[in-house]
Amino acid sequence: MTKYARDEFDKVPETASRQGVHRTASTPQSRGRLWPILAVGVAALAIGLVSFLILPKLGLGGADSQASAVVSEAPLAETGTSPSAAAAPTAGPSATAGPTEAAGNEPTTEPEPVPSTTTAPGAVLDKTQPVAVYNAAGTSGLAGRVGGTVQADGWTLGQVGNWAGAPQQGSTVFYSGADQLANARALANLLGVPSVVASTEFQAPLVVVLGPGYR
């Protein structure tokens, strides 16, 4: 019992069917109305599953697949090309690669290196090879003076005299064989000669020809 006085809200019949403020007690009749709705929903779900799983296996969807096949073939009919013809251009680059491969098989000739007046650091000089010196500049005593420079540097001096061959445009060191290239470059560097040339026309392995303008 409370200590407050009873009011109009306390005057509720004890046998009333109302529970709470808004709800009424559920009756077996209201529950029975839900079963038909649930039965219809289950039947619709079963029909949907049958249509989705069984009908495609029976071939009933063939019309849709044929329609899609017609649509896919339509662009090929308009352009007048076939799949094999469309794929043919992809083989083009392999055909164009033929000249490149053929060109790669051809022998290539490398130009001879330009003679240098400097001697390679690892080159081995053989100063025992005789060095001939010829004067083609017309300056008196030039061959003897240059021959003395060659001999003073430790080289073996060969024939010294005037040039009797064709007129020369400049000074050159001639050498015979690749094994004399290092010696020829060393002599050219010693004497200030601008070029070295391989030649087998001389008896001496190293020949210095002093052309016009040499001092």
Q: 21-43, pLDDT tens digit by residue? A: 555 555 556 566 778 888 888 99
Which stretches of the chain are DSSP H helices?
28-32, 34-53, 62-79, 83-87, 92-105, 142-152, 181-191
Tokens standing for residue 4? 């407050």
Question: Counting Cβ atoms within 10 Å, is residue 134 exposed (0-12), middle (13-18) or buried (19+)?
Answer: buried
Question: In this predicted structure, what is the pLDDT of residue 32?
Answer: 66
**Pick from 12, 172, 66, 195: which is nearest to 118 by CA?**
195
Residue 146's CB is within 10 A of a number of other CB atoms, namely 23
- The answer to whether 187 touches 193, Cβ cutoff 8 Å, is yes
pLDDT at 114: 40
Cα distance between residue 176 and residue 57, in whole Å: 93
Q: What is the mean pLDDT of each run of 10 residues along the chain (215 residues)?
A: 67 60 56 79 87 73 49 46 44 43 39 44 81 93 94 94 91 94 95 94 94 89
Phi, psi of 117 (to 5 degrees): -90, 0
pLDDT of residue 135: 94
Two tokens, residue 208: 């210095």
How far apart (Å, rounded) are the C-alpha atoms in residues 185 and 209? 14
| pLDDT value at residue 38 | 87
For residue 153, what is the DSSP state? T
Task: Specify the pLDDT at position 79.
Answer: 47
Q: How far apart are CA 137 and CA 162, in angstroms?
A: 9
Give the model's pLDDT for residue 109: 34
Tens digits of residue pLDDT in 65-104? 454 544 444 444 444 444 444 444 444 444 444 444 443 4
- The token duo for 56 is 């495609």
Average pLDDT, the chain: 73
The predicted pLDDT at position 93 comes to 44
Distance, CA of 180 to CA of 155 (rounded, Å): 13
Q: In the prediction, which pLDDT does 195 show? A: 93
Written as six digits, the tokens of 169 are 């445009």
